Structure 1
Amino acid sequence: MNSPLRLEVIVASVRPQRFAPVVTEWFLRAARADPAFDVGVLDLAHTPLPVDLTETPEAAAYRERLGAADAFVVVTSEYNHGYPAALKTALDTAKHEWRGKPVGFVGYGGLSGGLRAIEQLRQVVAEIHMVSIRETVSFHQAKRRFDADGNTDDGAAIDAAARLLRQLAWWGRHLRAARAADPYPG
């Protein structure tokens, strides 16, 4: 139980010329520097999931990977005051694999910085029996917050990422131990 938590970072945007890689790589540097986590990336642009939720080998492999994870962070843009459709498909493709696991959010966008999308996601993840981490990273006017090397001097975001990771590690450890001692009754 003292082994690093398996953290899967889910990249929600699938649009061409998306800004997601910049935000994701920045967050991954922070997450990979934390010894509490063994970090993987599930980029939905490269994860072929059927929108009609039919069973495919790719969907089965995706669920297996989710099942092996202890925690999740979703990096999401905000489109039309909501989150990307590909993310809804990704959430609906699995069921039991999400249960009793923590999830944090890194949002980016224009004026709201992805916060409206994240608030909607909190409702969805509660329905699939996940624990939403209160701390959130948000980049308002995201393209203006990063330099050409993908770094930011946004102190609020840097601080929020550190707090999110600490909270995610705490929830991840305790929920992993709880699931091992007494499987989630969902």
Structure 2
Amino acid sequence: MSLKLQVIICSTRPGRVGPAVARWFHEFARNHGQFDVELVDLAAFDLPIYDEPVHPRMQQYAHDHTKRWGASVARADAYVFVMPEYNYNPPPALVNALNFVYREWNHKPCGFVSYGGVSGGLRAAQAAKLQITTLKVMPMPEGVAIPMVPKHIQENGEFASNELIDASAVTLLDELLRWATALKTLRT
């Protein structure tokens, strides 16, 4: 059975370009052929600001939205967060979603496909790595950074990659595969 990789769209705002970037990476990861790849959109979960009365470590979820989100997170062996940079930080929707559950994240690797202006979202990805480690998730040093993302969006709304972006995507996927394979043994 192949490892399950979730490609998670982390921006929930209207007019976002995250879905176009995520669709590209989802297809790229499928063609890579080493993962069973699922595209997940945080916006579809409509999570409110964290509202669970019991610490997520206990998994005693009071709300259906948390149960649905927890089940989604639990399905994966690895994650790629497709995210913009907001004021040098990850989008608030991602920070909130990370906080909703705990054990479902444990002992899995993650990577980041970040996008934005000249920095390509790297500052936000670095900030997210600090939070993600507290959930016992191993962030990959490798990542995909997409600077000046509007220049990569075609008239039809689709994302257009290039050789450099594709090369970094292969490197990220190869490394995620190594870690996902190794960390699965901690969970069995």
TM-score with structure 1 length normalisation? Answer: 0.90
The aligned amino acid for 1:61 is R
Q: Which residue of 2 aligns with 1:148?
A: 155
Q: 1:80 to 1:144 in 2, by over 3 A?
A: same
Secondary structure in 2 matching 1:171: helix
Instruction: Indicate the percent of aligned positions where both proteins have the same amino acid.
Output: 34
Deviates more, 1:35-44 or 1:9-18: 35-44
Q: Which residue of 2 aligns with 1:44?
A: 42
Distance 2:79 2:161 in 1: 25
Q: Which residue of 2 aligns with 1:166?
A: 174
Q: Which residue of 1 aligns with 2:109?
A: 102
- Tell me which of 69, 82, 88 is aligned to 1:75: 82
Structure 2: where are the runs of 5+ without partners? Answer: 53-61
Q: Which residue of 1 aligns with 2:186?
A: 178
- Tell me which of 75, 87, 105 is aligned to 2:94: 87
Q: Which residue of 1 aligns with 2:56?
A: none
Q: Aligned Cα RMSD in Å? A: 1.3
Distance 1:124 1:24 in 2: 22
Secondary structure in 2 matching 1:96: coil
Q: Which residue of 2 aligns with 1:132?
A: 139
> How far does residue 147 in structure 1 lie from its aligned partner after superposition?
3.1
Deviations 1:93-128 (A, max 9, x none): 010111100000000001111101000011011111
Secondary structure in 1 matching 2:130: helix
Q: Which residue of 2 aligns with 1:19?
A: 17
Kept in 2: contact 1:53–1:92 (CA 8 A)? no
Q: Which residue of 2 aligns with 1:66?
A: 73
Question: Does residue 122 of structure 2 align to residue 115 of structure 1?
Answer: yes
Q: 1:26 to 1:178 in 2, by over 3 A?
A: same
Secondary structure in 1 matching 2:142: strand
> How far does residue 12 in structure 1 lie from its aligned partner after superposition?
0.6
> How far does residue 151 in structure 1 lie from its aligned partner after superposition?
4.5
Kept in 2: contact 1:74–1:104 (CA 8 A)? yes
> How far does residue 177 in structure 1 lie from its aligned partner after superposition?
2.2
Q: Which residue of 2 aligns with 1:184?
A: none
> How far does residue 13 in structure 1 lie from its aligned partner after superposition?
0.5
Kept in 1: contact 2:111–2:142 (CA 8 A)? yes
Q: Which residue of 1 aligns with 2:57?
A: none
Deviations 1:14-55 (A, max 9, x none): 111111111111111111112221111221111121213323
Q: Across the two proteins, how many residue pairs are aligned to each other?
A: 178
| Runs of 4+ residues deviating >4 angstroms | none
Distance 1:167 1:33 in 2: 16
Structure 1: where are the runs of 5+ without partners? Answer: 181-186
Secondary structure in 2 matching 1:39: strand
TM-score with structure 2 length normalisation? Answer: 0.90
Kept in 2: contact 1:4–1:35 (CA 8 A)? no
